[in-house]
Amino acid sequence: MNNYIILIIIYITLCFTNPAEAFRCKNEPIGRWDTKAKLYKYCGKPAYKGYKKIFYKGTYIDAETWYYNCGYGDFVYAVSFYDNIVIKEEPKERGSGVGQCD
């Protein structure tokens, strides 16, 4: 009987948890508050660099944005910086070809 209760608790817990979908390079998670140096160390040179307007701390800023194509079956990620710190990372579209995030 106790085994069934434990299984039910595990099942309920798994039903209400979200999978960890994070941008990773060489199995290292990249997210908010990381630095450009860490991103470059693990991911290398971006496929494309640009600037875009991002709402940050109550105002719109021109954030430098690096794009990484993680390949077929993954995404192209846009990683935006303010003051050399990652402020936003988001998948933009489906990746293609050989990825640069391995």
Strands ordered across the beta sheet of 59-69: 48-56, 59-69, 75-82, 85-94
Which of 53, 41, 76, 81 shows the shortest CA–CA distance to 65? 81
Of 6-10, 51-55, 81-85, 90-94, the one with minimum mean pLDDT is 6-10
- Other CB atoms closer than 10 Å to residue 46's CB: what's the count? 18
Q: Residue 13 domain-assigned?
A: no
Q: How confident is the model at residue 19 (pLDDT cuts 50, 70, 90)?
A: very low
Looking at the domain assignment, is residue 3 inside a domain?
no
**Is residue 76 assigned to a domain?**
yes
> Each residue of 26-65: pLDDT tens digit?
989 999 999 999 999 999 999 999 999 999 999 999 999 9
User: How many domains is the chain built from?
Assistant: 1
Q: Which domain holds residue 66?
A: 21-94
pTM of the model: 0.76
Q: Classify residue 7: in a domain, yes or no.
A: no
CATH of the domain at 63: 3.30.1450
Residue closest to 32 by CA, chosen among 40, 23, 41: 23
